[in-house]
Structure 1
């Protein structure tokens, strides 16, 4: 209500606002259907949730040993932190890569512009100040996150010498699963899935597959969790 008043969507009339809510609450518990603006229901839900969070915080202060239930976001964050710890240890990502190995971090993103259209871009990072670091807009009409992720990988495969051992670090599960498990099958079936459907973004997958075939050095794929403060992925 305060937000609506502040931005001029509603006049500052607390009496009518409260009267409206009194009429809504008066009908609670009755069997007949009641029409209520969805925005008001949303505000009430948010108010109740805020009150419940405050209530749990107060209970926690009174009884420090009381366990406060984790919300979905905190659980997801915790799982990502655990994955981060594991992948950092398994691949020693907090250290420089072994001698003769090039470690490349790739990422892609997609955002909606003020005009309502989608815009995507990709980034590649090897180390601070490296001449092959890249941050570019995605070309073409198809502006999607997946195409941006794939374009970043393709850039690395093209600019890194083919005989060099390469370690590609990406947060795209699609990219890792495709190059490790699906791509060969797609190629055998004429770039179709097991269900017989055409592979999406087949133009980029074909380029990636061709670039990988041309490589003589080893290529390792590292799936890293996103947005957990890993230097190369932020």
Structure 2
């Protein structure tokens, strides 16, 4: 496993969510790479939303790391990216309420994501979905395997 400045293991991660109907059956996928090592994770839920699957993919990917890591995290979800880069601090300040004083949707997952992000040094990278990015395409395929796993 490579390390950043010899301190933290370096991990590149791509995550994606999929939903067949919104709400409907959904899946999530995460592809993790560290040096020569790689790991594929996926799962599904019978009744969910695309946003919940996008969040779950990131949570489960970060949760799979046993030690603090320097993570370059690639997501194609504007919802996840905006939440982490813009909205989360205000939600926490406002007692998990939006600027309009309404409860934050998917609060359970945002709290879990906040907890997982705190365990690592995360650099967020937004990628356009279905644009040929190898990691994003791989994570998308894993998310679809998550949906398919519900049929087994």
**How does the TM-score come out when normalised to structure 2?**
0.77
Higher helix share: 1
The whole-number CA distance in structure 2 between the counterparts of 1:110 and 1:155 is: 17
The structure with more radius of gyration: 1
The whole-number CA distance in structure 2 between the counterparts of 1:212 and 1:103 is: 14
The whole-number CA distance in structure 2 between the counterparts of 1:102 and 1:129 is: 10
Alignment equivalent of 1:227, drawn from 118, 130, 134: 130
Residue correspondence of structure 1 range 50-69 to structure 2 within 5 A: none
Structure 2 portions without partners, runs of 5+: 138-152
109 and 129 in structure 1: CA distance in 2 versus 1, 3 angstrom threshold: farther
Offset at 1:181? 1.3
**How does the TM-score come out when normalised to structure 1?**
0.51
Offset at 1:129? 7.5
Aligned to 2:12: 103
Alpha carbons 2:27, 2:43 under 8 Å: kept = yes
Structure 1 portions without partners, runs of 5+: 1-96
Higher strand share: 2
Q: Aligned pairs, how many?
A: 130
After the TM superposition, list the runs of 4 or more consecutive aligned residues in structure 1 that deviate by more than 6 angstroms: none
The whole-number CA distance in structure 2 between the counterparts of 1:203 and 1:227 is: 28
